Amino acid sequence: MSPAIQRINPTALWSDITVFNQMAYFVEVPEGDLAADMRGQVQQVLEQAERSLSKVNSDKSRLLSATIYITDFANMMALNAAWKAWLPEGCAPSRACIKAELADPQYLVEIAFVAAI
């Protein structure tokens, strides 16, 4: 029998976090000040990610992968500065950065995370 799938705060469209086989999958978008610049929105997303990780007894040192969606590559330096400041040394996950149109035109960034528990 396969391990159970745990869905944290499921809705009809998504779950806040999906856990399977000691792996956590979740996506964060800025939920605070949408008028913030890229660095401010990235910091919001990273703070939210820490809260999500704590809900599944994990932390940012256990990140395995991140897919980052941004609306403008001109914001890449600000993204990278916030990202480097947030991650513990030697714990960078694999990462992809994709330019995309996001669901809310005020969003500058959205990040999909995969973490070990």
Tokens of 62: 């256990």
Flag whether 1 is in a domain. no
| Torsion sign over Cα 3, 15, 72, 100 | positive
Residue 74 lies in a domain: yes
Give the model's pLDDT for residue 84.
96
pLDDT of the residue at 104: 96
Q: The CATH number of the domain where 85 resides is what?
A: 3.30.1330.40
111 in any annotated domain = yes
The three-state DSSP-derived secondary structure of the chain is CCCCCEEEEECCCCEEEEEECCEEEEEECCCCCCCCCHHHHHHHHHHHHHHHHHHCCCCHHHEEEEEEEECCHHHHHHHHHHHHHHCCCCCCCEEEEEECCCCCCCCCEEEEEEEEC
Return the structure tokens found at 98.
């994709």
Query: What digits encode the pLDDT tens for the residues 31-77?
Result: 999 999 999 999 999 999 999 999 999 999 999 999 999 999 999 99
Domains of the chain: total: 1
Domain holding 79, by residue range, is: 6-116
